[in-house]
Amino acid sequence: MKLEEILQQRSGNQCELCKAPNPANVYEVPPQTGKYEENCMLICDTCLSQIEKKAEPDSNHWRLLSETMWSEVPGIQVLSWRMLNRFRNESWAMDSLDMMYLDDDKLAWAKTSGDHENDTNVELHRDANGHVLQNGDTVVLVKSLDVKGSTLNAKMGTVVKNIRVVEENKEQIEGKVEGQLIVILTKYVRKQNDK
């Protein structure tokens, strides 16, 4: 039987963290050397994006951790501990952490992420108005920009479609203007509303 089939059977085809139906992702709790039942779980897109800090943390989404933390699956225990620590400033998460027990090996595994030392702040790409930017979005320039190393001048109001966020720098995106791929600072763009 394949790992995904085993996980679907174990989870009842629900996210193993928040109980959302039809989870689409097999998540391997890092760090690991291979995918096994003990260190993998099925999770939904919402859980995945927040675990990987690609979306704003929503504490209401994670309230079911007070139930799922009791799982017998080591990976689920470890990830529950990590996510509870991200919300440790909230009483419900602190209460759950006070009740939770991990043996020394699992606790060492859980601490490798550093979540117990960091807060829940997630640095996301944001436009001039504070809206979150993601790959594939369409933006409008709010200022005319001279493109370094070229004679191109990107005029204010220029629409840039299908942007790509620069993972290493939360203040930069890439997009094509007049057929040329350029790097644009997020403070000079406004996300275009989908209509």
Give me the percent of the chain exceeding a pLDDT of 70. 94
Residue 55, pLDDT above cutoff 80: yes
Write out the DSSP string of 2-66. -HHHHHHHHHTSB-TTT--BS--EEEE-SS-SS--TTTEEEE-HHHHHHHTTSS---GGGGTTHH
Domain 139-191 has CATH 2.30.30.40: yes
pLDDT of residue 195: 46
Which residues face 183 on adjacent strands? 174
Pairing, β 164-165 against β 40-43: unpaired
Residues 54-70, mean pLDDT to the nearest whole number: 90
Its pTM stands at 0.66
Which residues face 165 on adjacent strands? 173
Residues 62-90, mean pLDDT to the nearest whole number: 93
Domain ranges of the chain: 3-111, 139-191
Residue 119, pLDDT above cutoff 60: no
Distances (CA, A) of 147 to 74, 101, 162: 51, 55, 19
Hunting for tokens 């675990």 — which residue is that?
Answer: 51
